[in-house]
Amino acid sequence: MIRLRCLHPGRHVWRLWRRSGHAVEETWISLRRIPPDWQKIFSSTLDLIWLPNTPQPGYIQLNDQRGFISWHESGRMTRITVRLEGFSAAKQSLIATALLKAARFHLLEEE
């Protein structure tokens, strides 16, 4: 089945900016009515790609100082920061993309 969607329901998470060097850091915003369970979304995604992590309220620390994901809720917006380090640049980019897909499309399951 092929459907054309101008406003895909996953498109309520946007990447605001990205900085890359030895580490990659990205900031995203999500516009939503009810905050989803970000900890579950991101931790399960990291588990899926075999990246050990330690969830805490409001953030997830990747083990072995490989970075973190944090989120701050305000009104109808969530600001999400992803920092990844200690991987190759290509792998950091793939991990960030996998997390962004999870943020966008896990929301569909919960709404």
Task: Give residues in contact with another protein (CB under 8 A).
Answer: 1-6, 8, 10, 48-50, 87-88, 90-91, 94-95, 97-98, 101-102, 104-105, 108-109
Q: At what angle do helices 38-48 and 89-110 cross, to 10 degrees?
A: 130
User: Which residue lies nearer to another protein by CB, 64 or 74?
Assistant: 64
Nearest approach in angstroms of CB 4 to another protein is 6
Question: Following DSSP, what letter does each residue of 10-29 receive, concatenated?
Answer: TTTEEEEEEEESSEEEEEEE
CA-closest candidate to residue 29, choices 78, 87, 73: 78
Nearest approach in angstroms of CB 69 to another protein is 15
User: Which residue lies nearer to another protein by CB, 5 or 33?
Assistant: 5
